[in-house]
Chains A and B, each alone.
Chain A
């Protein structure tokens, strides 16, 4: 892992953060579908990145998003959980022949079916935790459920579009 790769990874994260707080923050479809696209950034981090750097990245990314959303700690807590689960989930989903080391687990590299079975549970866990904490102390179960389902679908569709537009096959972005 050379320094150029590290810088690229951090820079991508920063771009995701900027895009999230300046554009996507104001985008809520039908009042229920939120677009937390930056979750995809954690999901698409290269495979050879160990859990500890992923946790640190997601802590600071989550804190950054929280700062601008006024939801102190909620994004961070949810993002940390999927950063923690990511490696284990990847180990479960090892394809025959194993992973190539520095690959991104993206749609183009791994195929459509694999990517969906990899990302849907993680994105779902993220949204369930986020909206659960967010609605603690209220009786908004049905609303939260609507928000969770709509947001997961929206984020996945957006992530597929973003990957097709901006990501390249094989390495790097």
Chain B
């Protein structure tokens, strides 16, 4: 009897945690497991410092180049068109203290929580590309659904021709994912860049997701079977950025009132 009871509790826990934005208590974002992971990562982080430094250096150099291109020469004038178009997105840094990539539903834990302004549903990227989406938040920690999670869809588009689809992990290889819902008539080349579409304001437009490495006609659908090589190296994630969009609430309520489900 006790077995049946406890097993029922376990199954109900599985079912309740299956939704993408579950309760914050029974997962790695609660204070207990968060602090354990924090302690562990305080010890372990020294081993990855050199590679973290290297990737930060590379990102810095890239940003400097971009900044140089945007800097206006002294004799130019600049007229802002509409202030609503500026600063709709803000980034927050956080440290990854727990990561998994071999299960079929992987999660990460970061050391920022509601005290630092993290909310459920925020997009998470790092300097290489898309990482995932915030699932649940406690005061000091948050759990993130990794892109390597068979339920997470990321709205994405092919950079060269603006055809959009959804990126979804197929659970096989943590370096590859599938681009779904691209119709057969679209010409997709090997090596095409796939980036976020920016349609649902979780991610800003143009964050890298991956590169097309294989295109096959789908077996039983009207869609192409496209395999991506992910830009993000999930085995080496140590710092991430949270995307805070000031328009997300407005967009979400708009979608809700018009009953559009957006992924």
| Residues of chain A at the chain B interface (Cβ within 8 Å) | 21-22, 25, 28, 31-32, 34, 51-52, 55-56, 59, 62-63, 66-74, 76-77, 80-81, 83-84, 133-135, 137-138, 140, 143-144
Chain A at the B interface: mostly helix, strand, loop or mixed?
Answer: helix
Taking CB atoms, residues of chain A closer than 8 Å to B28 are 67-70
Measured CA separation A65–B246 after assembly (Å):
37
Please determine whether A138 and B40 come into contact, CB atoms closer than 8 angstroms: no
Residue of A28, A31, A70, A73 touching B10 (CB-CB under 8 A): A73
Cross-chain contact A67 with B33 (CB below 8 angstroms)? yes
Complex CA distance for A68 and B103, rounded to whole angstroms: 13
Residue in A32, A55, A72, A140 whose CB lies within 8 Å of B26? A72
> Closest CB-CB distance, A150 to chain B, in whole Å?
11
Interface Cβ pair total, 8 Å cutoff: 101
Pick the contact of B7: A31, A74, A81, A144 (CB < 8 A). A81
A125 to B33, alpha carbons, bound, how many Å? 28
Contact of B13 among A76, A137, A143 (CB under 8 A): A76
- For the complex, what is the distance from the CA of A22 to the CA of B39, rounded to whole Å? 10
**Nearest CB on B from A62, distance (A):** 7
B206 touches A (CB below 8 Å): no
Q: Can you spell out 6 A-B residue pairs with CB atoms less than 8 angstroms apart?
A: A62-B10, A68-B37, A72-B17, A74-B10, A80-B3, A144-B104
Interface residue B77 (Cβ < 8 Å from any Cβ of A): no
**Nearest CB to that of A62 among chain B residues?**
B10
Does B36 sit at the interface, judged by CB under 8 A?
yes
